[in-house]
Amino acid sequence: MKGKHASFNQFGIFDDFNKDFSNIPGNALVVLNLDITSTTTTYNMEDLKSKVGPVGKILNDPNVPLHQRFRALFTLRNIGGEDAINEIAKGFSDPSVLLTHELAYCLGQMQDKNAIPFLIKVLEDESMNPITRHEAGEALGAIGSTEVLDVLQKYRQDPEAPVAETCELAIQRIKWLNERKIDSPNSIYDSVDPAPAEEDSSSVEELVSVLLDETNSLFERYKALFSLRNLNTTESILGLTKGLTVGSALFRHEVAFVLGQIQNPVTISMLSASLADATQHEMVRHECAEALGSIGTEECTQILKKYLNDPSQIVRDSCEVALDMADHEQSGEFQYANALQVVN
């Protein structure tokens, strides 16, 4: 998703690369192009870090429209550092499941160990929605520290299937990293994935077979999933769409997320069908909505508007945020995470 993956690149420009500039010296200059139609702005890094508090106020203000709070969230993710983590973590008391699960997602993508205590607290809080708890488990796996293996082991038998499956995946990912003694790799989509892509050169047909075979472990199926995403051909994408109707809710929601990353209009009809299917788990439907927002065509906009009054709160909220994402895609704006413009 273009908007959801905006960050600094190595030249200090806000764009779609997932880089952490939280450790840049305070006297360094960072050039921000906040909008393709606007002039660039140069910040001293200390000045940029001073914006964390004001952006955090936007994120944690329940009177601010949800889509604006999302833009603030991704701005904080991109700035990084302990102060940004603390501001993000304040939002876990919010009643919006969509927001709280996205908070956990961002903390995982930041890959900063300072986020671990907050994520463990969310995972352990069985009063929280399983969608948020699942995302906290996935985030712990994204950070990749062996220190969280014990807590993940504890919840791999959680009564909520998305939580249990996520913890199993996170354990497998951390063990995979540890066995190879490598840093956590970013995907070509600049996201930290819950499993690596397959390392061999399997054909699309073979990968789709692994993807859809429920006798395979979820970790192996996820590896096939990300391999198909990385191939990014019409054949591989259509193979991925078959995963929207098989397997667990967690699996189907990850397929939808990946289709949102790919942003290929050929998937619109399949994503729309899953969004329309009231028998689908709401975590799948909400992810389909966000994927449509990421694709961002006028057709996607019209589909999303139909579900602004859906009985599911997370689906309604997702459609609001997705429409803002679609508007961003159609506008030609360079930067989705634009909260710095608001606080300047």
Q: Which residues are annotated as a binding site for Fe cation?
A: 101-102, 134-135, 253-254, 286-287
Q: How far is CA 194 from CA 156, 184, 241, in A?
A: 15, 10, 19
Residues 202, 241, 300, 55: is their CA dihedral positive or negative? negative
Nearest one of 311, 251, 327 to 287, comparing CA atoms: 251
∠ Cα 132 135 139 (to 5°): 140
In the DSSP assignment, the letter for residue 184 is P
> Which residue is it, tokens 């001293």?
44
Nearest one of 97, 172, 178 to 136, comparing CA atoms: 97
∠ Cα 174 169 175 (to 5°): 20
Distance separating alpha carbons of residues 136 and 118, to the nearest angstrom? 9
Binding residues: 101-102, 134-135, 253-254, 286-287
**In sequence order, which ranges of the chain are alpha helices (DSSP H)?**
45-49, 52-59, 66-79, 82-89, 97-110, 116-124, 130-143, 149-155, 161-180, 204-212, 218-231, 234-241, 249-262, 268-276, 282-295, 298-305, 313-331, 339-343
Residue by residue, DSSP assigns 6-49 as -EE-TTS-EES--B--TTS-TT-EEEE---TTS--EEEEHHHHH
264 exposed, middle or buried (CB, 10 Å; 0-12, 13-18, 19+)?
A: middle
Distance separating alpha carbons of residues 83 and 319, to the nearest angstrom? 30
CB of 81 within 8 A of CB of 52?
Answer: yes
